[in-house]
Amino acid sequence: MSYICPLCAEPLSQNDKAYKCENRHSFDVAKEGYVNLLPVHKKSSIDPGDNKEMMLARREFLNKGFYQHLSGKINDLVSELSHGAENLLDIGCGEGYYTGRLAESLKNNGVIKVHGLDISKTAVKLAAKRYKAVSFCVASAFDTPFANDSFDSVIRVYAPSELTELQRIIKEGGFLITVSPGPKHHWFLKTVIYSEPKKNSDDNDSLDGFKLVQSERLQSLINISEASDVANFLNMTPYAWKLTETQKSQLCEQGVKCELDFKIQIHKRC
């Protein structure tokens, strides 16, 4: 796998501390080790993606292991699907929790290279600082800086993406593993916010150019008792904006028992 230039689509090669294409476009490697391949004119805002507050809340919360079983499940699935020398991508990787743990779990499985991409520079900076075995870049999932057929598997955990890009960068026979909210995900919080909460769809997603080969749900109940953990839980989700300050303080004070329902699907590129 090699990066392509976000300006002219020619291959980028790394020399010293920068990636360069034959048209002399150059992208510095940051001190944390990531490369920013999101040209200014392709940014939708000054600081696109999840903001720093959400990112730090997510990192603190995930650090406590509340979603570790999901990470373990992803690692097992990728390991079962992989066959030696592989290029993997975590698209919309955030602060790198799943990406870093994936790289760690696969480090003895042949020559596997794990990449992470996110549009948020804050997220990628945090990720690259902590997970040195992963190659991170700042870029948009809608216009990725990768050559055609670059990846054997791509994971996408609660992140947006563009189907044509996934079709382009995943090799024939390769896999896309998606994690999205199942029907009962975060049900308790929804009952606090909405008078008539609605379940997420349980439909299987069918993606053009892919065959759905596996679909399952990973359901559990988490018990979050410490106020700081509850605050991080709320702040890493869009619910933070929907709850009043009083509701938030009450939840932090009394703790939260909440349903987790992850819908995990494996799509094979055909």
Using CB under 5 A, list all residues that contact Zn ion.
5, 7-8, 21, 23, 25
Beta-carbon count within 10 A of 148 CB: 10
At its nearest, how many Å lie between ligand SAM and the CB of residue 254? 26
Q: Report the residue number, 8 or 221, with the smaller CB distance to Zn ion.
A: 8
Of residues 95, 96, 134, 143, the one with CA closest to residue 115: 134
| Whole-angstrom distance, CA of residue 256 vs CA of residue 234 | 10
Site track for ligand SAM across 149-168, x = CB under 6 A: --------xxxx--------
Q: What token pair was written down for 212?
A: 């759905």
Minimum CB distance to ligand SAM, residue 49 (Å): 3
Q: Among residues 36, 71, 87, 120, which is the contact residue for ligand SAM, using CB under 6 A? A: 120
Per CB under 6 A, does 141 bind ligand SAM?
yes
Contact between 169 and 254 (Cβ < 8 Å): no
141 binds, among Zn ion, ligand SAM, none (CB under 5 to 8 A by kind): ligand SAM
Note whether 119 binds ligand SAM by CB under 6 A: yes
Residue nearer to ligand SAM on the CB measure, 164 or 254 = 164
Other C-beta atoms closer than 10 Å to the C-beta of 32 total 14
The region, left, alpha or beta by phi > 0 then psi within -120 to 50, assigned to residue 186 is left
The CB-side HSE value for 64 (13 A sphere, CA atoms) comes to 16
Considering the complex, state which of residue 11 and residue 110 has its C-beta at the smaller distance from Zn ion.
11
| Residues 124, 105: Cα–Cα separation, whole Å | 20
State how far the alpha carbon of 112 is from the alpha carbons of 45, 55, 86, 162, in Å.
Answer: 34, 27, 5, 25
**Partner whose binding site includes residue 5, from Zn ion, ligand SAM, none (CB under 5 to 8 Å by kind):** Zn ion
Q: Please say which residue, 9 or 85, places its beta carbon nearer to ligand SAM.
A: 9
123 scored as a contact of ligand SAM (CB under 6 A): yes
Binding site for ligand SAM (CB under 6 A): 49-50, 58, 92-94, 97-98, 118-120, 123, 140-142, 157-160
